[in-house]
Structure 1
Amino acid sequence: MARTLTRRRTARSTESYSPADEPEEANLPDDEEEDERPSRGSRRGNSKRRSDALHTEEERPSRRSRRAPDEDDEDTEPAPKVGGKGWGSYEKTKQATSSFPDDFKASGEAVIVHFLDPEPFLVYLQHWIERQGKRSWTCLENRCPLCDDAGDKPSQQVLFNVIDFTDPEDPQVKVWRAGPMIADILKNFAKDKKTSPLNRDDLYFSVSKQTKNKKTTYYITPVKERDLLDDWDIEPLTEEELEEFDGKAYDEDILQVNSRTELKTIVRELLND
């Protein structure tokens, strides 16, 4: 049985649109290499599991690169239940101890996502160097040794905070690292009054990709909130859940920038090979 949904907030809402006005699905080639990072998944639980996993706080936490633990001044409060069994618990604790955000990765099966920001929260240039060990390096843009001395051309990285519904009962905040081709499609959605802003409360997106003859095509399609339950068997997020997920969103502090001296060391390594 579907749960009773609370009234939605409307601060970011704009004019709704009819099925006839809905944009066609976006097909685009993927001509970029993605940095490999671990992905996460967990088994489907009961319908109460998602709401139980989201706790409420007296104040909405500020956006940050890693989520700070809650402080509890109540000495009499019983100790919370921690830990768990199964691969789902393994994946959750792995992300909590990782120094990297968990990345959203599209697959051949369509997945629902919800954007937490109306635009990218971080855009930067990245070098990809084929070597053992660390291979991705943030471009310094000004007097960058990898550009000037190694002659490597960086690629553009466009980062969005999304809620990933791969497991509808346990949605997770992830970072979608898009290249310029995908970013252009999302920019068009952001400029269209029927699909703007991207993080509108009643707006979700279906994302999938298909690879054929070494060419990858992404399919990005808007999904209205009212169609989630019937078409995707997913309950729309409540106002409280949206606030909670927004507090888990990442910011520009996740960007790791190496010094010019460190990058010169990589250049010497490349030139000596």
Structure 2
Amino acid sequence: MARTLTRRRTKRDTDAYSPADEPEDEKGYDEEEEDERPARGSRRGSRRASVNTQEDKPSRRSRRAQDEDDEEEKEPPAKVGGKGWGSYEKTKQATSNFPDDFKASGEAVIVKFLDDEPFLVYLQHWIERTGKRSFTCLENRCPLCDDLGDKPSQQVLFNIVDFTDPDDPQVKVWRAGPMIADILKNFANDRKTSPLNRDDLYFSVSKQTKNKKTNYYITPVKERDLEDDWDVAPLSEDELTEFDDNAYGEDILQVSTRNELKTIAREALD
């Protein structure tokens, strides 16, 4: 069964191009001067002229395009939508502006790193309040630090492929704290497990919580052992390329203005 590669990354907006934005050519010829110019006799010009004189004869490209349109009309309509919670999660994530976070659980799952190091590291405040509670620390003159006295926590972000469903691996963001980041840094500095995103290297991840203490278990898994030990098919080169293309970047970080954070600090103090 072929795997479906789920796209997660939101494309950056680009400025639309308009011919009106181009400056006018001040060195162009007027109509009278153009007639006096000698013909250059280019091969492209000759071809264009011959094509224009045969308007009643459809081009090979036009016939091919018409044939393709006819074939598309014969195809059954594409299957869209679906039922169940799986479909709910997919459509929810596809329409969300926020990245899908990876959450470790008590059951070990396979993940693959798309980065050889964190793609984003920042400090985050967590303020107990109604509504939004996490805020990016400004680091310099941050009202939540200076006015409220809140100490931010470190957030270390990695792009990974999550194989919780081996038939539907997905790009997710693993927001690691210092404890997990130290473990991953050790793997990144070890010759046997470096770099983290090496093609033939995967990891199993799980966590256990006991007496309010959580321990994470991260174990390297070689590609050759995936199918026998984990019933997971390794990613092909094309799959890896597509997942890389859909990985997240620094633009996912949301930063409030200093005035907004001042308001949050005043509300918390009141």
- What TM-score does the superposition give when structure 2 sets the normalisation length? 0.75
Percent identity between the two aligned chains: 80
Structure with bigger helix share is 2
Helix, strand or coil at the partner of 1:184: helix
Does the aligned pair in 2 maintain the 1:65–1:252 contact within 8 Å?
A: no
The code of the aligned residue for 1:104 comes to F
Q: Which residue of 2 aligns with 1:175?
A: 173
The code of the aligned residue for 1:99 comes to N
Q: Which residue of 1 aligns with 2:122?
A: 124
Does the aligned pair in 2 maintain the 1:100–1:254 contact within 8 Å?
A: yes
Compute the displacement of 1:219 (Å): 0.3
Q: Which residue of 1 aligns with 2:5?
A: 54
The code of the aligned residue for 2:266 comes to R
Q: Which residue of 1 aligns with 2:220?
A: 222
Q: Which residue of 1 aligns with 2:149?
A: 151
- The number of residue pairs the alignment matches comes to 212
Say which of 234, 241, 266 aligns to 1:268: 266
Compute the displacement of 1:68 (Å): 7.0
Say which of 104, 112, 115 aligns to 1:114: 112
Structure 1 residues 215-267: Cα deviation after superposition (integer angstroms, max 9, x where no partner): 00000000000000000001100001101111110000000000000000001
Matched, 1:161 2:105: no
Compute the displacement of 1:177 (Å): 0.2
Q: Which residue of 2 aligns with 1:246?
A: 244
CA distance in 2, matches of 1:65, 1:266: 30
Structure 1 residues 186-214: Cα deviation after superposition (integer angstroms, max 9, x where no partner): 01100111101100110000000011000
Say which of 39, 51, 66 aligns to 2:10: 66
Compute the displacement of 1:87 (Å): 1.8
Change in Cα spacing, 1:54 to 1:216, as seen in structure 2 (3 Å) is closer
CA distance in 2, matches of 1:65, 1:164: 14
Structure 1 runs (4+) greater than 3 angstroms displaced: 74-81
Does the aligned pair in 1 maintain the 2:112–2:202 contact within 8 Å?
A: yes
Does the aligned pair in 2 maintain the 1:228–1:234 contact within 8 Å?
A: yes
Q: Which residue of 1 aligns with 2:87?
A: 89
Does the aligned pair in 2 maintain the 1:101–1:174 contact within 8 Å?
A: yes
CA distance in 1, matches of 2:182, 2:216: 12
Structure 1 portions without partners, runs of 5+: 1-46, 56-60
Change in Cα spacing, 1:160 to 1:241, as seen in structure 2 (3 Å) is same
Does the aligned pair in 2 maintain the 1:195–1:203 contact within 8 Å?
A: yes
| Alignment root-mean-square deviation, CA | 2.1
Q: Which residue of 2 aligns with 1:135?
A: 133
- What TM-score does the superposition give when structure 1 sets the normalisation length? 0.74
Radius of gyration: which is bigger?
A: 2
Q: Which has the higher contact order (CA 8 A, sep 6+)?
A: 1
Compute the displacement of 1:80 (Å): 4.4
**Which stretch shifts more, 218-227 or 91-100?**
91-100
Helix, strand or coil at the partner of 1:181: helix
Does the aligned pair in 1 maintain the 2:116–2:195 contact within 8 Å?
A: yes
CA distance in 1, matches of 2:169, 2:11: 16
